[in-house]
Amino acid sequence: MSQTEAPESFPSPRPTPLRKGSGRIVRRISVKLSTGFAGYASAKKNAGNSCSLSPSEGERVRVRGRSAWPALLILLILNFVAVAEPRFPPPDFTETNHQIPGTTTPAARAELLQYLDVGVLFTCLGVAVWFVHKQRSRRGLFWLGIFSLAYFGFWRLGCVCAIGAPQNIILGLFDASYAVPLTVIAFFAAPLLVALFAGRAFCAGVCPHGALQDLLLIKPVKVPAWLEHALGVLPFIFLGFGLTFAATGTGFPICRYDPIVPIFRLSGPNLLIALAALTLVLGMFVGRPYCRFLCPYGALLKLASLTAKWRVRVTPDLCTQCQLCANSCPFGAMREPSASKTDPKFLAPDRRRLGWLLLLLPVLIAGGAWIGSLLAVPVSKLNPTVELAERYIRQQQSPVDYGVMTPETLSLQRAERDPEAVLKSATDLRQRFWLACLIFGGWTGLVIGVKLASLSLRTTRTDFEPDRGACFACARCFRSCPQELVRIGQMPASEVPQTAVAVNT
């Protein structure tokens, strides 16, 4: 990209005219929001004298001040999170032979309401794209996130969501009897289509998981870049794991082990409650831990956004490499300009390394597939039919008297009514697991191999810009750029620094 040309981006937004002295007004608002304790008066005083604060710092202060109130609101209703109780067992009516009425299934949600969900999704995606690329408004994305958290999170209880939708799709592909609902297809496809053109706008302000984590971020700790690269592989592996289970009809582990959904539903198994608490605590210090290191749908969005037509850019104009945005991203997505010249002595070794890694790729895939094929036995035990069949066979080898009925012995008795069907079904499932695990192992090898190869590629970058795949388009970095402040009228153009220190050497 030439410096003399305007970057290929969303059409440039017009500067927003503000009242005279708007900077002081903004600072007083930020003080009022950071309330109520001993620090209030001092915070007011300090904020009033915060002329020496850089715009990015002031932005961070304002964001953190606002974050506390929504977090409090959420936590006020999170008391039910602690109530993770097993279902209340019915009394034992052995003596009176009272027949407990059978459980009933509630009626499915009205179809119109399901389409309403899809409509809200489309609308939110459009609004997010507008806020990211047109308005370049962090505040807009913030409140959109609040709405998404309330609607898709606490109102819709986190289901249906785009994160779990790939499992429905894969099950529909492998199970002819399963019809994937149109709404699920919409939830799966819409954010991906948007990512292909406008980046991860879904993550910016539509995904309730991301919105919740955004609100909890208090003191971001920078994750070392080398560790971030390693952990960045995990979402792809988790995606493969989830699709493996879904394809065999065993279940939806991405949904089952989602640590944030129990917060939306205010209940859940003990393990998930513990994971939710851990995620919340972690989210106070590590920006969006679930999104960055576990979200399987994020892995797909990362791939889709690599080809985005409209990229998220920190500066609305030219990058002067003032470095003021270098520390503005709490999610480790900011990338710095690379060296203008590559030392020739490193060219040959780099190329050799890349060549070896590319040759290693099929070996990794084959090795992963082999290990995956061996996983069929332990992994298939998670399928209830396989587990029941194994328990039945063991029980035949050492017969036991049932005694008092427990849920386990009841299921075993049911298996004994037709053991042939149970055993045959379990054997067939084991075969399916073999194939699915083989593919999963190969996929894991592929992911690791491609990651290693990508780390050996030389990238040339002239501007400070967010990584296309890793950027959540949250707009936190915009206000750190002096060019943005000029655009919105918070700073005269004459004060834009050229280069604070030399960067490229």
Tokens 């529909």 label which residue?
172
CB of 412 to another protein, least distance (A): 10
> What are the Cα distances from residue 438, in Å, to 167, 357, 383, 454?
18, 22, 17, 24
Query: E-assigned strands of 405-486?
Result: 465-466
Residue type at 175 in one-letter notation: D
> Which DSSP state fits 465?
E
CB of 427 to another protein, least distance (A): 5
**Which residue's CB is nearer to another protein, number 106 or number 420?**
420
**Which residue's CB is nearer to another protein, number 175 or number 336?**
336
Helices (H), 149-269: 165-174, 182-198, 201-205, 208-216, 225-231, 234-247, 253-256, 261-265
110: left (phi over 0), alpha (psi -120 to 50) or beta: beta
Cβ partners under 8 Å of residue 217, min gap 6:
64, 67, 283, 284, 287, 288, 330
| Buried-exposed string 457-473: b where 16+ CB fall within 10 A, e elsewhere | eeeeeebbbbbbbbbbb
CB of 497 to another protein, least distance (A): 5
CB of 102 to another protein, least distance (A): 18
**Which residue's CB is nearer to another protein, number 67 or number 114?**
67
CB of 484 to another protein, least distance (A): 14
**Which residue's CB is nearer to another protein, number 124 or number 314?**
314
SS3 18: coil
**Which residue's CB is nearer to another protein, number 182 or number 405?**
405
**Which residue's CB is nearer to another protein, number 18 or number 77?**
77
CB of 328 to another protein, least distance (A): 8
**Which residue's CB is nearer to another protein, number 109 or number 424?**
424
CB of 297 to another protein, least distance (A): 21
CB of 375 to another protein, least distance (A): 5
d(CA 443, CA 494): 53
Tokens found for residue 241: 């794991």
User: Are the CB atoms for 83 and 504 separated by under 8 Å?
Assistant: no
CB of 182 to another protein, least distance (A): 36
CB of 107 to another protein, least distance (A): 28
**Which residue's CB is nearer to another protein, number 33 or number 185?**
33
**Which residue's CB is nearer to another protein, number 127 or number 446?**
446
Helices (H), 375-418: 376-380, 384-397, 407-417
Residue type at 197 in one-letter notation: F
Tokens found for residue 189: 């496809």
> What are the Cα distances from residue 471, in Å, to 2, 205, 334, 431, 474?
23, 13, 8, 40, 8
Nearest to 313, CA basis, from 136, 168, 146: 136
Degrees to nearest 5, angle at CA 302 with 327 and 488 = 45
The secondary element (H helix, E strand) that includes residue 335 is strand 334-335
**Which residue's CB is nearer to another protein, number 181 or number 337?**
337
**Which residue's CB is nearer to another protein, number 252 or number 440?**
440
> Distance of alpha carbon 491 from its chain centroid, rounded?
35
The secondary element (H helix, E strand) that includes residue 334 is strand 334-335
CB of 444 to another protein, least distance (A): 7
CB of 418 to another protein, least distance (A): 10
Cβ partners under 8 Å of residue 61, min gap 6:
30, 34, 47, 50, 53
**Which residue's CB is nearer to another protein, number 12 or number 406?**
406
d(CA 476, CA 329): 7
**Which residue's CB is nearer to another protein, number 46 or number 123?**
46
CB of 149 to another protein, least distance (A): 16
